[in-house]
Amino acid sequence: MIELNTLTYLFMAVAGVVSLIATYLAIVENDLVKAVIFSALQSTVYTIIYYLLMAPDIALVYIPVSVGLYPAVILFLIKKTERTEGDLEGSGGDSG
Amino acid sequence: MRIKKLLVLSSLIILVLTFSLAFTKGALGYYPLPLPGVRTLAYWYLITTLNPRYPSFTAMSPEAVTAIVWDYRGLDTLFETAVFFLAIVGALALARGISLKKALDNANNKDNGKGLSLICKTATRLLTPLIIAVSASIALHGHLTPGGGFQGGSAAAVAPLLILVIFSVYFLLSKGVAEKPMLVLRTAGLIGIYLTALAAVLIGLVTGLNAYVFQNQPKLDAPVGIPAQVSNALISGTLFFFNLSEYLAVASGFTLVFMLLSIPEEIVRSFISGEAHE
């Protein structure tokens, strides 16, 4: 039988790894709309971590900001520029 | 390409996991790890936050976080609100001269035929009152349960945002949510915050007693205080009013920025080049 504490820490570790993957994908993704979605996924996982670390106040402000307001602002701005990221010389930008 | 991505990703994950294991096993000593118990400072906050036995220390709120944010460390939050206010002022300054009403007239846009499908619209119609109700409960119960003015305000701002995306900015304008009312609401919220911060001082001036800015409950050398209970309901003195004002300021500020951001680019350009003024 796994202890409840261990289970909480395990869950936090999994959430942390998912956030790491989402952050990496958000950085290397060339399609900015997809990058925003990855970024929102990372924030959603962070909300879970905040909740598990017993910070419900931060979780409450993080849900609307990270899932609603922040992707919306970025999407509005992407709409005003271009959807895909790229250099003038051609492809690239995958090195980051 | 794909293999390179996978390699980078897996090495990143291994790096992070190794470091976490090293930290938890005490490779850097146990100093960077959080203490298992409650620290002295946290203990002090927890024991005084709702404790009528220490009348000159308590904030009379069971929610320690809100008590810290608006009472113990209230001045920090005031300046935080000032930063948010300045950010909105900056956004408004960038969009100066652009009138949503004029944009509506110029583009000859009515809301019929605009927006997403009927399913989205019906779902939004059902969800919007729920979002407003939940956000109001987060903000107005902020001194009792987790939550507060900023949390409630940002949750409330999701409702106009949904309407903006699913209907259109013209629908929002036709419902009376325009720049002017939002500006008035936001200013009312800010005035509320400043008046609440000065409430004890104003009472002190009238009664001739000593009082401090940002004072909530009576202190040893300043017997003025805001009542913690109104007809047996706990309002925690200034905390309720701070939360209410911050809720109004944040919700209307976010709404204002989203409305300005959602104006189509061509209309913004026509305003900048001055065609729309004729």
Between B116 and B12, the more confident residue is B12
Whether the CA torsion B203, B209, B213, B214 is positive or negative: it is negative
Whether the per-residue pLDDT at B265 is higher than 80: the answer is no
Q: Is A96 part of a structural domain of the chain? A: no
Domain that residue B118 falls in: 42-277
Q: B165 and B64 in one domain?
A: yes
Cβ distance of A69 and B1 shorter than 8 Å: no
Q: B54 and B23 in one domain?
A: no
Q: B81 and B107 in one domain?
A: yes
Give the residue from A76, A91, A95 with the most B CB atoms within 10 Å of its CB, the best one to mutate: A76
Question: Nearest CA to B111 among B162, B175, B157, B182?
Answer: B175
CB atoms within 10 A of CB B162: 18
The proportion of chain B whose per-residue pLDDT surpasses 70, expressed as a percent, equals 91
CB atoms within 10 A of CB B224: 22
Which of B1, B16, B262 lies nearest to residue A76, judging by beta carbons?
Answer: B262
Q: B151 and B29 in one domain?
A: no
Q: B95 and B3 in one domain?
A: no
> Mean pLDDT of all residues in chain B?
85
Q: Is A27 part of a structural domain of the chain? A: yes
Question: By a Cβ cutoff of 8 Å, what residues of chain A touch chain B?
Answer: 13, 16-17, 20-21, 24, 28, 56-57, 59-61, 63-65, 68-69, 72-73, 76-77, 79-80, 94
Whether the per-residue pLDDT at B36 is higher than 80: the answer is no
Total domain count, chain A: 1
Q: Does residue A77 sit in helix, strand or coil?
A: helix
Whether the per-residue pLDDT at B264 is higher than 80: the answer is no
User: How far is Cα B123 from Cα B104, in angstroms, rounded to an integer?
Assistant: 26
Q: Is A85 part of a structural domain of the chain? A: no
Q: B168 and B143 in one domain?
A: yes
Q: B50 and B27 in one domain?
A: no
Question: Nearest CA to B13 among A20, A85, A91?
Answer: A20
B61-to-A35, B119, B230, B234, B236 alpha-carbon distances in Å? 41, 43, 14, 8, 5
Q: Which of B45-49, B89-93, B109-113 has the lowest mean pLDDT?
A: B109-113
Q: B126 and B29 in one domain?
A: no
- Say what the pLDDT of residue B96 is: 77
Domain that residue A69 falls in: 4-80
Which of A16, A59, A76 lies nearest to residue B261, judging by beta carbons?
Answer: A76
Q: Is A88 part of a structural domain of the chain? A: no
- Say what the pLDDT of residue B109 is: 54
- Say what the pLDDT of residue A94 is: 47
Q: Is A92 part of a structural domain of the chain? A: no
- Say what the pLDDT of residue B107 is: 58
Q: B148 and B21 in one domain?
A: no
Answer yes or no: are the C-beta atoms of B106 and B160 closer than 8 Å: no
Residue B179: pLDDT band (50, 70, 90) is: confident
DSSP secondary structure code for residue A68 in this structure = I
- Say what the pLDDT of residue B275 is: 59
Cβ distance of A17 and B13 shorter than 8 Å: yes
- Say what the pLDDT of residue B278 is: 47
Whether the per-residue pLDDT at B235 is higher than 60: the answer is yes
Whether the per-residue pLDDT at B4 is higher than 70: the answer is yes
User: How far is Cα A22 from Cα B252, in angstroms, rounded to an integer?
Assistant: 32
Whether the per-residue pLDDT at B223 is higher than 90: the answer is no
Whether the per-residue pLDDT at B94 is higher than 90: the answer is no
Total domain count, chain B: 2
Question: Nearest CA to A62 among B154, B134, B73?
Answer: B154
Cβ distance of B157 and A60 shorter than 8 Å: no
The pair of structure tokens assigned to B249 is 């300021």
Q: B82 and B202 in one domain?
A: yes
User: How far is Cα A57 from Cα B155, in angstroms, rounded to an integer?
Assistant: 13
Cβ distance of B146 and A24 shorter than 8 Å: no
ipTM score of complex: 0.79
Q: Is A89 part of a structural domain of the chain? A: no
Cβ distance of B151 and A69 shorter than 8 Å: no
- Say what the pLDDT of residue B10 is: 92
Residue B106: pLDDT band (50, 70, 90) is: low
Which of B5, B150, B158 lies nearest to residue A68, judging by beta carbons?
Answer: B158
Q: B14 and B60 in one domain?
A: no
Give the residue from A61, A79, A91 with the most B CB atoms within 10 Å of its CB, the best one to mutate: A61
Q: Is A93 part of a structural domain of the chain? A: no
Q: B131 and B71 in one domain?
A: yes
- Say what the pLDDT of residue B234 is: 86
Regions of chain A with pLDDT less than 70:
86-96
